[in-house]
Structure 1
Amino acid sequence: MPRDPALSELPLPLFAPAGEDEAVPAPLTEGAKLPSYIRDHRKRLRERFLHGGAQAMPDYELLELLLFRAIPRQDVKPLARHLIEVFGDLAAVVSAPAARLTKVPGVGEAVVVELKLAEAMALRLARARVLNRRVISSWDALLDYCHTAMAHRETEHFRVLFLDRKNCLIADEEQGRGTVDHVPVYPREVLRRALELNASALILVHNHPSGDPSPSQADIAMTEQIRLAAEALSITLHDHLIIGKEREASFRTLGLI
């Protein structure tokens, strides 16, 4: 089979050199076309996505679609596969800190922007499904939102969901960030903010980066402090959710509230 001349003219390294913005197509002259095998592969992936949806595609192919704009002049399949290998799955890649992403060869600012944009859009979509809606009737959507926001964080984050008299979510605010196994929580600040928002009820949420959502004794003690302080102000603590990698723990379900 005759060799495509474009292949001999365009070097396609596995990853871009470290520190170089991979979105800059330096090897191509102005107006040069992509090699046909890359162009056809991208076309096929887009068509599969449009006709079959995301369900028909593995994680690395969805990641390829994200990387097309960031790296317009290279085959991005090797990088997509490598990112999945390093971080574990697509969700972990998209939510990984920029500092960790840029340690992967071939990942520069353009790739980080695409991944962080995807993360921000997923988070806003999940949040829109629960904001100003009754929590009880949209509990599954609320859990999806909490997992989207917190399941893949590498340090503990603590947030409070503030509810009105109808148990509709009126605000969702991060109250603190900590280490891999601890986050500082200040009950006085939680209740002060609840009064400012005229909230009638609360749901506490934090994550366990270890993946195991089982409550610790410190979690139980802190929750009881907030419950008692809220009760004194006629504010109800509905639940405390601990988000793990694959599942969550509910204090109410466990009989801890």
Structure 2
Amino acid sequence: MAQSFNEPFLPLTVPAEPDEAEPQALTGRLPSYIADHRQRLRDRFMQGGGAALPDYELLELVLFRAIPRQDVKPLARLLLDTFGDFNRVITASPARLQMVKGAGPAVVLELKLIEAAAQRMMRARVIQKPLLSSWDALLDYCHTTMAHRETEQFRVLFLDRKNVLIADEEQARGTVDHVPVYPREIVKRALELNASALILVHNHPSGDPTPSDADLSMTAQVQDACQALGLVLHDHLIIGKSRELSFRGSGYL
């Protein structure tokens, strides 16, 4: 059954204390060099925004709340070394994050809150908007939501007669290179929502958005089902790590 958009679910128990034992907690005070460093980062951020800070310092700011009485620079650098960049740290799964030494439940919660906020902001730019005239915002939303996932996810965007997005639903999740899709369920859901058009979206965790034979076959089946019921399939987007492929733009539709 189709599942409505939700922010990532976090089955975490957040401790009342910081993630690791901290000698400074006995006095309740930070060493002056750590306190001064934190204040300098906050000042630079407030004056210049995120663009004024490299990834590791922006990540430090996020970690301050999770680990209030400890130098978080080593953890910020370790997370970046492990996952590659700020985006990949934020979008990494809770299980993988907690494999990094020092990234306990409080750290994971802060990172997942940032991810959820980013997704909600991107979604607000497209929901109840005419998608065909908001294409760049749609692509930004899809990349924010799906580009760094480690397994395939298949979503359907349902549009009304004016091509306004009325629903964005996850239809299935799969493995690193496959996701089960059922064309009949897609068109059935479109009729339930009184939708007139669809856009299919799924990600390739490999990073390469080139469609597979299975992608081409499935899209053709959805197209046939839509035509039989008077629905329009506007496009099928495959989201890679840094770029996307449009079936319409590439001549597959």
TM-score (norm 1): 0.90
**Which residue in 2 is equivalent to 1:85?**
81
Amino acid at match of 2:219: T
Of 43, 49, 64 in structure 2, the residue corresponding to residue 47 of structure 1 is: 43
Shift of 1:32: 2.8
**Which residue in 2 is equivalent to 1:4?**
none
Amino acid at match of 2:88: A
Shift of 1:146: 0.1
Of 136, 156, 159 in structure 2, the residue corresponding to residue 163 of structure 1 is: 159
**Which residue in 1 is equivalent to 2:145?**
149
**Which residue in 1 is equivalent to 2:209?**
213
Amino acid at match of 2:196: S
Write the distance in 2 (CA, Å) between the matches of 1:22 and 1:85: 22
Paired residue secondary structure (1:172): strand
**Which residue in 2 is equivalent to 1:34?**
30
* Consecutive unaligned residues in structure 2, runs of 5 or more: 1-14
**Which residue in 2 is equivalent to 1:236?**
232
Paired residue secondary structure (2:134): helix
The answer to whether the 8 A contact 1:94-1:116 is kept is: yes
Shift of 1:31: 5.0
Write the distance in 2 (CA, Å) between the matches of 1:30 and 1:244: 48
Amino acid at match of 2:106: A
**Which residue in 2 is equivalent to 1:67?**
63
Write the distance in 2 (CA, Å) between the matches of 1:28 and 1:126: 39
Task: Name the Cα RMSD after superposition.
Answer: 1.6
- Relative contact order (alpha carbons < 8 A, sep ≥ 6): 1 or 2 greater? 2
Write the distance in 2 (CA, Å) between the matches of 1:135 and 1:53: 30
Alignment of 1:115-194 (within 5 A): 115-194=111-190
Amino acid at match of 1:88: G
Amino acid at match of 1:233: L
The structure with the larger Rg is 1
Distance 1:35 1:195, change over 3 A: same
Amino acid at match of 2:57: E
Deviations 1:167-205, CA, capped at 9 Å, x for gaps: 011100000000000000001111111011000000000
**Which residue in 1 is equivalent to 2:248?**
252
**Which residue in 2 is equivalent to 1:226?**
222
The answer to whether the 8 A contact 2:197-2:231 is kept is: yes
- Indicate the percent of aligned positions where both proteins have the same amino acid: 68
Paired residue secondary structure (1:28): helix
**Which residue in 1 is equivalent to 2:92?**
96
Write the distance in 2 (CA, Å) between the matches of 1:25 and 1:49: 28
Deviations 1:215-257, CA, capped at 9 Å, x for gaps: 1111011000001101111110000000000000000000101
Write the distance in 1 (CA, Å) between the matches of 2:163 and 2:199: 10
Write the distance in 1 (CA, Å) between the matches of 2:24 and 2:150: 39
Write the distance in 1 (CA, Å) between the matches of 2:82 and 2:251: 38
Write the distance in 2 (CA, Å) between the matches of 1:56 and 1:195: 48
**Which residue in 2 is equivalent to 1:195?**
191
Amino acid at match of 1:46: R
Deviations 1:60-83, CA, capped at 9 Å, x for gaps: 111100000000111101110110
Paired residue secondary structure (2:46): helix
Paired residue secondary structure (1:103): coil
Shift of 1:28: 3.1
Amino acid at match of 1:188: R
Deviations 1:138-183, CA, capped at 9 Å, x for gaps: 1000000000000000000000000011101110000000000000
The answer to whether the 8 A contact 2:171-2:181 is kept is: yes
Write the distance in 2 (CA, Å) between the matches of 1:23 and 1:108: 5
Shift of 1:55: 1.0
Write the distance in 2 (CA, Å) between the matches of 1:24 and 1:170: 45
